[in-house]
Structure 1
Amino acid sequence: MASLTSTSTSTSTSVEADAVAFMESLPVVRWDDIEAAAEVAERIARRIGEDKEVLRLLVDRVLRTPELREQCACHALDDKIVIWDEPEKGLQIQLRLANTSQYERVHNHRYSFTALILAGAYNHTLYATDQPLDETADVTRFWPHFLREEQAGRCITLDHEQLHTTTTEPETVLLVIQSTAQKQRAFVLRQDDGTVSYRHGAAEETAERRAEMRMSDERLQHWITRLYALGVL
Structure 2
Amino acid sequence: MTVTSDLLTPGRLRRVRALDWQDVDALSPELTALLEELAADGAWLGSALENLRHTPELRDLSERLAELDKLVLVNDADSGVRIRLHRFRQGYFDRPHNHRFTFGTRILRGGYRHTVYGDHIEITPDFDVSQVRPTLIRRESAGGGYVIGHTLVHSVAAEPETLTLTVRGPAQKDRMLIVDREQGTSWWQYGVQQEDPADVALRRLTDDQLTETERLLREQGLIPG
Please, what TM-score do these two structures have when normalized by structure 2? Answer: 0.87
Q: Secondary structure at the match of 1:88?
A: coil
- Matched residue, 2:108: 118
Q: Which protein, 1 or 2, shows the higher relative CO under an 8 Å CA cutoff with sep ≥ 6?
A: 2
Question: Which whole-Å CA distance do the structure 1 matches of 2:169 and 2:157 have between them?
Answer: 23
Residue 177 of structure 2 aligns with an amino acid whose one-letter code is F
RMSD (CA atoms): 2.4
Q: CA deviation at 1:141?
A: 2.6
After superposition, give the CA deviation of every residue in 1:164-219 in whole Å (9 maximum; x if it has no partner): 11111121111000011111110011233234232211111111111111111111
Which residue in the other structure is 1:30 paired with?
Answer: 20
Matched pairs, number: 218
Partner of 2:99: 109
Change over 3 Å in CA distance of 1:129–1:86 after alignment to 2: closer
Change (3 A) 1:47 1:103: closer
Partners of 1:129 and 1:141 within 8 A in 2: no
Which position in structure 2 is the counterpart of 1:226?
A: 216
Give the one of 87, 110, 133 matched to 1:143: 133
Matched, 1:41 2:31: yes
Per mean C-alpha deviation after superposition, the further-off stretch among 172-181 and 120-129 is 120-129
Question: Which amino acid is 2:187 matched to?
Answer: S
Where structure 2 has 5 or more consecutive residues not aligned to the other structure, the ranges are: none
Which structure has the larger Rg over C-alpha atoms? 1
Tell me how far apart the structure 2 counterparts of residues 130 and 108 of structure 1 sit (CA, whole Å): 8
Closer/same/farther in 2, CA of residues 131 and 160 from structure 1, 3 Å limit = closer
Q: TM-score normalized by structure 1?
A: 0.84
* Cα distance change, pair 69–139 in 1 and its aligned pair in 2 (3 A): same
Cα distance in 1 between the residues matched to 2:30 and 2:160: 29
CA–CA distance in structure 2, aligned partners of residues 113 and 129 of structure 1: 15
